Structures are given as structure tokens and as C-alpha cells.
Amino acid sequence: MDSPAANAAFAKQIDIKFPLLSDMNRKMLTDYGILKKYDVKGDSYEWALRANIVIDKDGIIRHIEGGDSAVDPNTAVSVCTDLHKKSAAQ
């Protein structure tokens, strides 16, 4: 798990302008069903899937994908663009 300090160093390194968040107690990952358990030769491990999630201003999930498909963010970006257009039109 990356701590806020580790995230701060990484954000500085690649000049990120948005928040990097740490789920130190894994609660969010668990609540969202992203944290998966794996059994490897009798030992249990927890591992988070790669995931993209878009949540609108009303707190409703408008896009969610996990695993291999989430490596490509284009679908999520498209949903963001649509939400942005709708907000601008209102």
C-alpha cells in the first residue's frame, strides 16, 4: 500500500495536478468490490483490481469497469465528456 508520503513523492516526480489517494485500511476497495482475495499455494493474499469508476454529481455510478478492460481509460473518459456536456448545457 502506498502511503500519502509515497504518493506525494510520485505526484511531484510526474507533476500530477489531481489528488492521489491512499486507502490505508482498504475499506473503500472492499466497499466497491475491487479488493479480491487470492489463494496461492495455500496462502491468502489481497490484491486490488485495476478499475475506472465515474461518479456523477448526484453520487450515482455512471461507469465502472475492472480488470483488464480498465487498463484502457477511453470509455471512462468518454463518459466523463458526456457528463461534462450535460452539465454545461444545464
Partner 1 sequence: MKRLLVACLLFALAPPLAPPSEQSQKKEEVAKLSLKVGDKAPDFTLLSDQWKTVKLSDYHGKKNVFLAVYVLAFTGG
17-36 residues near partner 1, rule: CB under 8 A: 18-24, 26-29, 31-36
Of 69, 52, 62, nearest to 85 (Cα)? 62
Q: Does 78 bind partner 1 (CB under 8 A)?
A: no
Q: Is 89 in the site for partner 1 (CB under 8 A)?
A: no
If one asks whether residue 72 binds partner 1 (CB under 8 A), the answer comes out as no
- The DSSP element (H or E) to which 56 belongs, if any, is none
Q: Cβ(29)–Cβ(48) under 8 Å?
A: yes
The CA distance from 19 to 62, in Å, is 21
List of residues contacting partner 1 (CB under 8 A) = 1-2, 4, 6-8, 10-11, 16, 18-24, 26-29, 31-36, 38-40, 43, 45-68, 70, 73, 76, 80, 83-84, 87-88
